[in-house]
Amino acid sequence: MSTSVALDDTLFESTRVNSSFPSKVKYLSWIGASVARVRLKMPADFPSFRPGQYIELALEDGTTRPFSIANYHPRAEEIELHIEARPDSQATWRMVRQMQQRAEISVCPAKGSVQLKPATGPQVFLAAGTGFAQIKALMEQYLHNRQPRKADEFPIYLFWGSEQPEQRYLEKHVEAWCRHHKNLRYLPLNWQTGDCWGKAVTAGVEQLTQSQIYACGSPWRIYKTLDHLERQGVSATQMQSDVFSYAPRQPKKVSAIAI
């Protein structure tokens, strides 16, 4: 799965656009070898959206692809995207080329149920690759809304995993967060060396059973992590992910599954 999209690209076939809006490309730059950072100016009549949701970019032939909203904008005027252009994703490359050549692209209204809840305990954010896009938006909203005098009320944890360190393409941005928010702890993970969310969260998060968890990654990684955390006393209701909507699984059997 390309985690630059909010949903698994392999689960979607080309669809016809029911409703779309023209957007202007204000900024497009490559960060890392295959990730395009894009900012879109939305039209005045574009439906409201929030961090945690995703939009679909649409080509003229009706092909659409979903991408996580990667920013918090108080006036909801701009949308940032982190688009991973893989060699095997022809539709994504067509979208990137159109934005480069014409500085515009059609956008479908935002979807998705993931959203920040009022903080009641430690805040845990899990990102895999360009799944950082959705997590970045949620964290920006959370940090923006915290009053300075309450900034240390609950600890904040960010676990960002990737195959290679360079795939954590905005670490300088994260480091700036850490300098300004002393209760934020950043823990980079390397999949190739055996790191995984479940064990890292269990070892690094205090008061885990009181935490609120937001995760963006592939279905198998999300469910593996959830299974592990449930065995540590975490309730499934404490975790939010788009995976639960677009890739629901059958109810688990009673027998335990070892990781």
Q: Is residue 128 part of a domain?
A: yes
Choose the final residue of a domain: 44, 78, 111.
111
| Same structural domain, 129 and 222 | yes
Q: Is residue 171 part of a domain?
A: yes
Give the CATH number for residue 194. Answer: 3.40.50.80
Q: Is residue 258 part of a domain?
A: no
Q: How many domains does the chain have?
A: 2
Closest Cα to residue 2, out of 30, 28, 35, 27?
35
230: which 2 tokens? 């449930």
State the residue range of the domain holding 190.
123-246
| Same structural domain, 26 and 46 | yes
Tell me, yes or no, if the pTM score tops 0.85.
yes
Sheet holding 239-240, edge to edge: 184-190, 156-162, 123-128, 212-216, 239-240
| Same structural domain, 23 and 93 | yes
What's residue 72's pLDDT?
94
What's residue 169's pLDDT?
96
What's residue 3's pLDDT?
42
Q: Is residue 1 part of a domain?
A: no
Closest Cα to residue 71, out of 179, 15, 144, 164?
144
| Same structural domain, 131 and 234 | yes
**Parts of the chain with a pLDDT under 50:** 1-17, 149, 151, 259
| Same structural domain, 167 and 82 | no
Q: Is residue 255 part of a domain?
A: no
Q: How far is CA 220 from the centre of its chain?
A: 16
Strands (E), the chain: 21-30, 35-41, 54-58, 64-68, 78-84, 104-111, 123-128, 156-162, 184-190, 212-216, 239-240
Q: How far is CA 27 from the centre of its chain?
A: 20
What's residue 146's pLDDT?
75
Give the long-range contacts of residues 173-176, CB within 8 A, separation 24 or more: 173/136
Per-residue pLDDT reduced to its tens digit, 200-211? 999 999 999 999
Choose the final residue of a domain: 90, 111, 132.
111
Cα end-to-end span (Å), the chain: 21
Task: Output helix, strand, coil percentages for the chain, rounded to the nearest 5.
Answer: 30, 25, 40
Give the strand pairing for 21-30 and 35-41: antiparallel
